[in-house]
Amino acid sequence: KAGVTQTPRYLIKTRGQQVTLSCSPISGHRSVSWYQQTPGQGLQFLFEYFSETQRNKGNFPGRFSGRQFSNSRSEMNVSTLELGDSALYLCASSPTTRSGELFFGEGSRLTVL
């Protein structure tokens, strides 16, 4: 079974731009969660999608948004990028919602200049 796939793996943007990251979950998994990983803050929860609906949302500004498609693939978007948005964005899938047993992708490393 293929693992969680995230694209792109690396990207560089400038302040004020926007970015869209993509995540394909493990086949059969209907929940997709997104996390921001930074050296100082560890793993911070962004949001979770299950059956195309946002089920949970972390404490991030409205510039961070996401969606999930009928095939469970998910995208997250960050608008008006700031320097502090530089991070590794990890996607994780699980069979059910609000599961602590997550299967992570390799992540998308975003650098904002």
Partner 1 sequence: GENVEQHPSTLSVQEGDSAVIKCTYSDSASNYFPWYKQELGKRPQLIIDIRSNVGEKKDQRIAVTLNKTAKHFSLHITETQPEDSAVYFCAALGEGGGADGLTFGKGTHLIIQP
The footprint of partner 1 (CB under 8 A) covers 4, 33, 35, 40-45, 47-48, 55-59, 90, 98-102, 104-107
Closest CB 12 distance from partner 1, rounded Å: 18
DSSP string covering 2-69, please?
Answer: ---EEE-SEEEE-TT--EEEEEEPPTT--EEEEEEEETTTEEEEEEEEETTEEEEE-S--TTEEEEE-
Closest CB 100 distance from partner 1, rounded Å: 4
Choose between 25 and 107: whose C-beta lies nearer to partner 1: 107
The Cα-based distances of 70 to 21, 65, 67, 78 in angstroms read 17, 17, 10, 22
Closest CB 28 distance from partner 1, rounded Å: 17
Choose between 68 and 81: whose C-beta lies nearer to partner 1: 68
Closest CB 47 distance from partner 1, rounded Å: 8
Choose between 18 and 96: whose C-beta lies nearer to partner 1: 96
Choose between 22 and 99: whose C-beta lies nearer to partner 1: 99
Q: In the block, which residue shows the tokens 């919602």?
A: 97
- Cα separation, 43 vs 40, in Å, equals 9
